[in-house]
């Protein structure tokens, strides 16, 4: 499990290139270092946005103005949304663990375009800085919400243009990462690794990358059109200038719904790795999981209209989008059944990553089922724009993608740093996070059903009980986050040295040193078996 001796090889973190110190990182083209640099960026911005979320919860502990006025509240929920969606969750797992693990898992030394990979990181940083600057420059923080709906976003006096530019730039970074991954998966798999001998995390990244490449340009041009509307008065969307606001919503959601799958598909890939490892059993229904990733990517492209049931689209298109929304739930359900079947009959070892993965299924199920409530036409009209929606997408994005991110962090941590975190503390942090998460978001379902609108800083006294419980949950959640982050940082500095394969995993990343050397493999591995062949099966 752990070893007291420090590893003897030169890892990618200690390798000496042309430059030293911080410059060695800023000029690196090593996919593992770039993955870690994304991790640092995402962690910092996640903490910022989490604090903003906490501030919103404190504001809502009592009706009326508590700690901020309405305008500040609007600015804060916009910034919370923009940071969480564009800077944290969309790059999220793909940029951090995709960069770190994808080349290793397919037996390659790096991605196909290492320099482009570094460029994507710089574009990401520029976009992130612009996003933060938009809060402090010009005429006050943007208050449009992360969706930038026109006509308000075309007319608001706040600093919308920079926020739009930030989202555009971040989209560009996302496109380049996706492009890199597609070519890497097509061209750099180790000899013998056919597509259907590839582990499932690369499969999910492959589906994700196609969405990034094919959907992001649409939102790019849409945001550019809003920028043109604000700066040049070319009216595509503002009725005052001749345009059509509904068209904006269509174009925005054509990207932004598939973007939800950019967030969740890599998360599904992560847990598809964790379940077989901690059950010591091949994943159940490998092909079904792999193909369902692609199915989600394809069908997910055609469900955007379910964000617009109340916007005034025709009866038939509502019917069509509602139908497809139900269809897209099928491949997700297939995955859930397969994960659970993977555990059935396995020798389960309940370690920290598995705790996160199991809670991922639990939270993702709640998020998924309430998604069907929202996807059905009749119930949607009732709960549209209430905190029910807020609770739903936090269950999917935070409960799903967020918990899978933490799962991945605890799963690949020994590989990344060659050290181990304190597992007891990690489990404790998980407990706080899981309880805090549910206490925070579940009451929002209930008060949402009772009619509490989203994005309001004030509310009727009858909703106060729900809000108070929710705010208590926020504090529990933040406590869990602090414990988890502190434990991980301590693990990086002082944790016990980990062996190369602490979880007895069988995918390629566990067959090399922890942390990996710069070139990952001493010699190019040759793949002869399907990906999840554990000892028991090999002997049989």
Partner 1 sequence: MSDHEEHVIDRESGTMGMWLFLFTELFLFGGLFLVYAVFRYMHPAEFHEAGLELDTFVGTLNTVVLLISSMTVAMSITAVQKKNNALALGLLAITTILALVFMVNKYFEWTHKFHLVIYPGSPVLENMERGELLFYGLYFIMTGLHALHVIIGLIVLFFAGYGIMKGTVTSERTLLLENAGLYWHLVDLIWIFLFPLMYLIT
Distance between CA atoms of 286 and 203, rounded to whole angstroms? 10
Residue 233 in contact with partner 1, rule: CB under 8 A = yes
Closest CA to 356 of 429, 458, 447, 252: 429
Point out which span in 21-29, 146-154, 282-290, 337-345 binds partner 1 (CB under 8 A).
21-29
Cα of first residue to Cα of last residue in the chain, in angstroms, is: 26
Distance of closest approach, residue 217 Cβ to partner 1, in angstroms: 4
Residue 27 in contact with partner 1, rule: CB under 8 A = yes
Among 99, 222, 325, 387, binds partner 1 (CB under 8 A): 222
Structural contact between residues 53 and 474, judged by C-beta atoms closer than 8 angstroms: yes
Look at phi and psi of residue 140 and say left if phi exceeds 0, alpha if psi is from -120 to 50, else beta: left
Q: Which is nearer to partner 1, 1 or 228 (CB)?
A: 228
Distance of closest approach, residue 120 Cβ to partner 1, in angstroms: 12
Point out which span in 10-18, 189-197, 300-308, 472-480 binds partner 1 (CB under 8 A).
10-18
Residue 123 in contact with partner 1, rule: CB under 8 A = no
18 three-state secondary structure:
coil
Q: Which is nearer to partner 1, 244 or 423 (CB)?
A: 244
Other CB atoms within 10 A of residue 10 CB: 13
Residue 294 in contact with partner 1, rule: CB under 8 A = no
Structural contact between residues 491 and 421, judged by C-beta atoms closer than 8 angstroms: yes
Residue 120 in contact with partner 1, rule: CB under 8 A = no
Among 136, 242, 323, 369, binds partner 1 (CB under 8 A): 242
Among 48, 234, 298, 469, binds partner 1 (CB under 8 A): 234
Among 56, 395, 518, 520, binds partner 1 (CB under 8 A): 518
Look at phi and psi of residue 512 and say left if phi exceeds 0, alpha if psi is from -120 to 50, else beta: beta
Residue 23 in contact with partner 1, rule: CB under 8 A = no
79 three-state secondary structure:
helix
Residue 218 in contact with partner 1, rule: CB under 8 A = yes
Residue 232 in contact with partner 1, rule: CB under 8 A = yes
329 class by beta-carbon count within 10 Å (0-12 exposed, 13-18 middle, 19+ buried)? middle
Distance of closest approach, residue 291 Cβ to partner 1, in angstroms: 22
Distance of closest approach, residue 307 Cβ to partner 1, in angstroms: 17
Token couple for 347: 């020798």
Residue 493 in contact with partner 1, rule: CB under 8 A = no
Closest CA to 441 of 370, 383, 377: 370
Q: Which is nearer to partner 1, 180 or 501 (CB)?
A: 180
Distance of closest approach, residue 222 Cβ to partner 1, in angstroms: 6
Q: Which is nearer to partner 1, 177 or 272 (CB)?
A: 177
Structural contact between residues 23 and 531, judged by C-beta atoms closer than 8 angstroms: no
Residue 110 in contact with partner 1, rule: CB under 8 A = yes
Residue 225 in contact with partner 1, rule: CB under 8 A = yes
Distance between CA atoms of 322 and 183, rounded to whole angstroms? 34
Among 119, 247, 298, 468, binds partner 1 (CB under 8 A): 247
User: 401: which DSSP letter?
Assistant: I
Distance between CA atoms of 482 and 487, rounded to whole angstroms? 8
Structural contact between residues 383 and 436, judged by C-beta atoms closer than 8 angstroms: no
Token couple for 8: 């003897």
Distance of closest approach, residue 299 Cβ to partner 1, in angstroms: 19
Residue 179 in contact with partner 1, rule: CB under 8 A = yes
DSSP string, 195-255: GGGS-HHHHHHHHHHHHHHHHHHHHHHHHHHHHHHHHH---SS-GGGT--HHHHHHHHHHH
Residue 173 in contact with partner 1, rule: CB under 8 A = no
Point out which span in 63-71, 200-208, 234-242, 340-348 binds partner 1 (CB under 8 A).
234-242
Site residues (vs partner 1, CB under 8 A):
15, 17-18, 27-30, 109-110, 112-116, 175, 179-180, 182-183, 186-187, 213-218, 220-222, 224-225, 228, 232-236, 241-244, 247, 251, 518
């Amino acid at each position: 499990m752990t070893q007291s001796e420090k590893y003897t090889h030169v890892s990618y973190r200690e390798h000496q290139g042309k430059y030293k110190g911080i410059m060695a990182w800023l000029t690196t083209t090593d996919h593992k270092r770039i993955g870690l640099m994304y991790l640092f960026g995402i962690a910092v911005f996640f903490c910022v946005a989490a604090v903003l979320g906490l501030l919103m919860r404190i504001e809502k502990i009592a009706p009326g103005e508590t700690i901020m006025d309405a305008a500040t509240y609007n600015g804060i929920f916009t910034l919370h949304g923009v940071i969480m969606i564009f800077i944290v969750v969309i790059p999220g797992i793909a940029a951090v663990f995709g960069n770190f693990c994808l080349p290793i898992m397919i037996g390659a030394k790096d991605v196909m375009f290492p320099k482009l990979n570094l460029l994507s990181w710089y574009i990401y940083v520029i976009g992130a800085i612009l996003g933060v600057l938009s809060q402090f420059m010009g005429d006050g923080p943007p208050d449009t919400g992360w969706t930038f709906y026109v006509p308000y976003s075309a007319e608001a006096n706040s600093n919308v243009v920079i926020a739009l530019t930030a989202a555009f730039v971040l989209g560009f970074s996302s496109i380049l990462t996706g492009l890199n991954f597609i070519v890497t998966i097509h061209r750099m798999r180790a000899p013998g690794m056919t597509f259907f001998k590839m582990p499932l995390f690369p499969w999910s990244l492959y589906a994700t990358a196609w969405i990034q490449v094919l959907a992001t340009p649409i939102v790019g041009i849409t945001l550019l059109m809003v920028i043109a509307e604000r700066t040049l008065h070319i009216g595509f969307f503002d009725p005052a200038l001749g345009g059509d606001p509904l068209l904006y919503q269509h174009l925005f959601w054509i990207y932004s719904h598939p973007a939800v799958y950019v967030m969740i598909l890599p998360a599904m890939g992560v847990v598809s790795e964790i379940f077989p490892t901690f059950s010591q059993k091949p994943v159940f229904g490998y092909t079904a999981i792999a193909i369902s990733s692609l199915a989600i990517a394809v069908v997910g492209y055609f469900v955007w209209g379910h964000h617009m049931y109340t916007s005034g689209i025709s009866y038939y298109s509502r019917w069509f989008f509602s139908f497809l929304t139900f269809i897209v739930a099928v491949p997700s359900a297939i995955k859930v059944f397969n994960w659970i079947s993977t555990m059935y009959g396995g020798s389960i070892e309940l370690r920290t990553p598995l705790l996160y993965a199991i809670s991922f299924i639990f939270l993702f199920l709640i998020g998924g089922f309430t998604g069907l409530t929202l996807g059905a036409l009749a119930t949607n009209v009732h709960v549209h724009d209430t905190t029910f929606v807020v609770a739903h997408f936090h269950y999917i994005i935070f409960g799903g993608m967020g918990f899978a991110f933490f799962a991945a962090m605890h799963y690949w941590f020994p590989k990344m740093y060659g050290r181990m975190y304190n597992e007891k503390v990690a489990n404790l942090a998980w407990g706080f996070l899981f309880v805090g998460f549910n206490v925070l978001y579940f009451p929002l379902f209930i008060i949402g059903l009772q009619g509490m609108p989203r994005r309001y800083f004030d509310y009727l006294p009858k909703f106060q009980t729900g809000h108070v419980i929710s705010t208590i949950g926020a504090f529990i959640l933040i406590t869990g986050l602090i414990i988890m982050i502190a434990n991980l940082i301590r693990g990086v500095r002082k944790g016990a040295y980990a062996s190369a394969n602490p979880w007895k995993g069988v995918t390629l990343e566990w067959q090399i040193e922890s942390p990996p050397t710069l070139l990952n493999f001493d010699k190019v591995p040759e793949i002869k078996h399907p990906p999840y062949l554990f000892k028991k099966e090999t002997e049989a």
